[in-house]
Amino acid sequence: MTVKVGIAGAGGRMGRFLVEALAQPGYDAVLAAAVERPGSELLGSDAGQLAGLEPNGVLLTDRLDAALAGIDVLIDFTSPATTVAHARACRDARKALVVGTTGLDSSQQAEIDAAADLVPVCQASNFSTGVNLLFRLLAQAAGALGDSVDVEIIEAHHRHKVDAPSGTALSMGKVIAKQLGRELDDVAVYGREGQTGPRARPTIGFSTIRGGDIVGDHTVLFAADGERIELTHRAGTRMAFASGAVRAAVWLPGRAPARYDMSDVLGFTGEDTVA
């Protein structure tokens, strides 16, 4: 059965790549709706043309309810408040939801979890295959190195990114903290300044770089006395995230209501589940 996909934020940076990814051969899926924010000057534009493709006849609309009626699954890369509203709408309309938006606070996350009680939701801070493989490598490295190293996470993104550190960096921190028996909230250090004193071993430090058009770089540094390991992922194009999210959208409809992540879509087993 061809999966009918709606894209929320279709005029955004990720939205345009999602439209392009859906048009690639190999997915049994079709773009059935493209949603943008009320008041956007892009409303009425052809989603294909906006993505740099031939026109596909799907015009950007702000009528989410009408869009939901004609789709099996909504892919949402917008903003936290919008994603919460869309999660409620998907729950009420009993439609599957793929969440790519990052920077949700705990009450916003609770709304996503509530939707997942009634509909299947796939949420990932990073939909690229490479990063999801890296999550597993990080768990392996942390398990092998244990408390003998200092762990630092360095990430870089384009100047337009509005949340920091990135959702991916936080997911990496969660994977490592879990493996080491720590709670990330207890050990995270978000930047340093002034008289910080010496570094405490259990802390996990985050450093954030913002500039230019960097799509997304992440390095995890395991530093010991005399040697260090650096595991790095660099995204060269947003297509790396978009194709993963489309893969999730094809996989999701018909699944039992629950919150899934990209490791489920990719068929990774084990307990290194992250969001």
Amino acid letter, residue 268: F
Catalytic residue of the set 157, 174, 218, 233: 157
Quick one: which segment of 30-38, 67-75, 110-118, 183-191 binds ligand NAD (CB under 6 A)? Answer: 30-38
Q: Quick check: is 218 catalytic?
A: no
Degrees (nearest 5) of the Cα angle 167, 173, 176? 145
**Pairwise CA distance, residues 122 & 168, whole Å:** 15
Number of residues that bind ligand NAD (CB under 6 A): 24
Q: In this chain, which residue has its C-beta nearest to ligand NAD? A: 12
- Site of tokens 């916003």: 108
Q: Quick check: is 161 catalytic?
A: yes
Of the residues 40, 108, 207, 208, which one makes contact with ligand NAD according to CB under 6 A: 40
DSSP state of 119: S
SS3 for 233? strand
SS3 for 68? helix
SS3 for 205? strand
DSSP run (H or E) holding 206: strand 204-210
Least distance from C-beta 105 to ligand NAD, angstroms? 13
Of the residues 45, 56, 61, 78, which one makes contact with ligand NAD according to CB under 6 A: 78
Give whichever of 12 and 165 is closer to ligand NAD, judged by the CB atom.
12
Q: Does 206 bind ligand NAD (CB under 6 A)?
A: no
Quick one: which segment of 24-32, 65-73, 118-126, 226-234 binds ligand NAD (CB under 6 A)? Answer: 118-126
Q: Does 155 bind ligand NAD (CB under 6 A)?
A: no
**Pairwise CA distance, residues 88 & 74, whole Å:** 12
Q: Does 6 bind ligand NAD (CB under 6 A)?
A: no
Q: Does 61 bind ligand NAD (CB under 6 A)?
A: no
Closest CA to 65 of 41, 21, 97, 33: 33
Of the residues 3, 5, 7, 9, which one makes contact with ligand NAD according to CB under 6 A: 9
- Residue 178-197 contact track with ligand NAD, rule CB under 6 A, x = bound: --------------------
Give whichever of 67 and 180 is closer to ligand NAD, judged by the CB atom.
67
Q: Is the dihedral of CA 59, 62, 66, 68 positive or negative?
A: positive
- Chain length of the chain: 275
Sheet containing 188-190: give its strands across: 188-190, 204-210, 150-157, 216-223, 228-235
> Which residue ranges make up the site for ligand NAD (CB under 6 A)?
8-9, 11-15, 35-37, 40, 77-79, 82, 100-103, 124-127, 241
Residues assigned a catalytic role: 157, 161
